Amino acid sequence: MNNIELVKGSTVFNDVPAKLVLADGRIFTGFGFGATGTTLGEAVFTTAMTGYQESMTDPSFHRQIVVAAAPQIGNTGWNDEDYESHDHRIWVAGLVIRDLAARVSNWRSERSLADEMKKQNIIGISGVDTRALVRHLRDHGSIAAGIFAGEDALRSEDELLKIVQDQPSMAGADLASEVSTDKPYVLEPEGETKYTVVAYDMGIKSQTPRNFAARGIRTVVVPANTPFEEIKQYNPDGVFISNGPGDPATADAMVGIVGDIISADVPLFGICFGNQILGRALGLKTYKMKFGHRGINIPVKDLISGRIDITSQNHGFALEGEAGQEFDSPFGPAHITHVCLNDGTVEGVALKSGRAFSVQYHPESAAGPHDANPLFDQFLALLGSK
């Protein structure tokens, strides 16, 4: 471990001072790990107790400082297999935890969390009362923040607060283009090719094309905002719109592209950011949530089948609407298909024809439960119906 000097109880101490500063003036002190310096972003919390590597490498966490509700992080270390970013990049702006595990204890681990964060210049702070911090974020909402570690933490608190308050807002941020691939790439299926799907990379996770590959689908991953005319060259049997970061209200180009896809009667499936884009194309509006959904234990009800799935989620924006709502869209009748049982948030939308559907959660289950994985089979069946 980096800079560890002594272990007292369950807390790992080191000699790197650090501060977490929230834009509303609340300040938490602790100990830095990983890199040192300054990092800025929106402070959000995740309730997941496992899967920190998958979460940290999820491009949907771009420009976000993640607060772990679980009390100890780092015990399973880091490996070269569980990256969810195509380029093995950590996308979180920073990590806030209570206790950093004193040692790694997992047979798959290849190095420690702190070592990987230092390698990728990601700043973390430990020793924080994360219970108090999570309650603060639940009460007041996700908020601009900054982690200052090492010499940067020694500056005056007024100076640190001004730096935090001067950063750009997450509302209105167009971030998908910052995390998307620069050029198309292909993932071949396992065995015989049954179908070809074009996947728009709004911040796609690696496990998604792997799920397609396991079902005989050849996946052509293309950059965000690639015009529909350009993807015709791949003769897609269907189109997938991935998860990703940022405000869906800025995704006008992708909303227009989705309209072109639906008008051409190409089957479409979207998740997370893709759900918000499809919803917008169908005429719904989006809004910024108070503190969002981030975790792997969020209950969602399928209003069509009545089935309840425990799902993996990571989003701070959502579609406006009500459970079971039916409405007219530019492409025919549509309806709200899924709802969160915790707070009533819209979790799915579809054309009543079934030719386009989406959900607000992560069926690839990385990390998370596998309840929603059959959605890939639903898309496979839709491709076959063409």
Confirm whether 364 is a catalytic residue: yes
Mean pLDDT of 281-296: 96
Same-domain status, 185 and 233: yes
Binding site per annotation, positions for L-glutamine? 60, 244, 246, 273, 276, 314, 316-317
Asked if residue 299 is part of any domain, the answer here is: yes
Same-domain status, 29 and 61: yes
pTM: 0.93
Asked if residue 229 is part of any domain, the answer here is: yes
Q: Mind listing the pLDDT tens digit for each residue in 133-153?
A: 999 999 999 999 999 999 999
Domains of the chain: total: 2
Asked if residue 275 is part of any domain, the answer here is: yes
Asked if residue 170 is part of any domain, the answer here is: no
Q: Do residues 104 and 83 lie in contact, with contact meaning Cβ atoms separated by under 8 Å?
A: no
Confirm whether 340 is a catalytic residue: no
Q: Mind listing the pLDDT tens digit for each residue in 34-45?
A: 999 999 999 999
Catalytic residue among 116, 272, 335, 340: 272
Q: Report the chain's mean pLDDT, rounded to a whole number.
A: 94
Is the four-CA dihedral 376, 377, 382, 386 of positive or negative sign? Answer: positive
pLDDT of the residue at 173? 86
Same-domain status, 24 and 118: yes
Same-domain status, 144 and 207: no
Q: Mind listing the pLDDT tens digit for each residue in 250-282?
A: 999 999 999 999 999 999 999 999 999 999 999
Task: Name the residue range of residue 48's domain.
Answer: 4-165
Last residue of some domain: 165, 187, 202?
165
Catalytic residue among 42, 54, 84, 364: 364
Same-domain status, 182 and 239: yes
Asked if residue 237 is part of any domain, the answer here is: yes
Asked if residue 171 is part of any domain, the answer here is: no
Same-domain status, 58 and 81: yes
CATH code of 19's domain: 3.50.30.20
Same-domain status, 284 and 335: yes
CATH code of 307's domain: 3.40.50.880
Say which amino acid occupies 279. G
Same-domain status, 157 and 19: yes
Q: Do residues 57 and 83 lie in contact, with contact meaning Cβ atoms separated by under 8 Å?
A: yes
Last residue of some domain: 128, 143, 165?
165
Same-domain status, 253 and 156: no
Same-domain status, 120 and 224: no
Last residue of some domain: 131, 165, 199?
165
Same-domain status, 187 and 142: no
Q: Do residues 186 and 163 lie in contact, with contact meaning Cβ atoms separated by under 8 Å?
A: no
By C-alpha distance, which of 73, 28, 26 is closest to 52? 73
With 50 as the cut, is the pLDDT of residue 355 above it?
A: yes
- Name the burial class of residue 22, with classes exposed (0-12), middle (13-18) and buried (19+) by CB atoms within 10 angstroms of its CB: buried
Q: How confident is the model at residue 385 (pLDDT cuts 50, 70, 90)?
A: confident
Asked if residue 234 is part of any domain, the answer here is: yes
pLDDT of the residue at 326? 97
Greatest distance between any 2 Cα atoms in the chain: 64
With 90 as the cut, is the pLDDT of residue 336 above it?
A: yes
Same-domain status, 159 and 191: no
Q: How confident is the model at residue 13 (pLDDT cuts 50, 70, 90)?
A: low
Binding site per annotation, positions? 60, 244, 246, 273, 276, 314, 316-317
Asked if residue 105 is part of any domain, the answer here is: yes
Catalytic residue among 86, 136, 315, 362: 362
Confirm whether 293 is a catalytic residue: no
With 90 as the cut, is the pLDDT of residue 295 above it?
A: yes
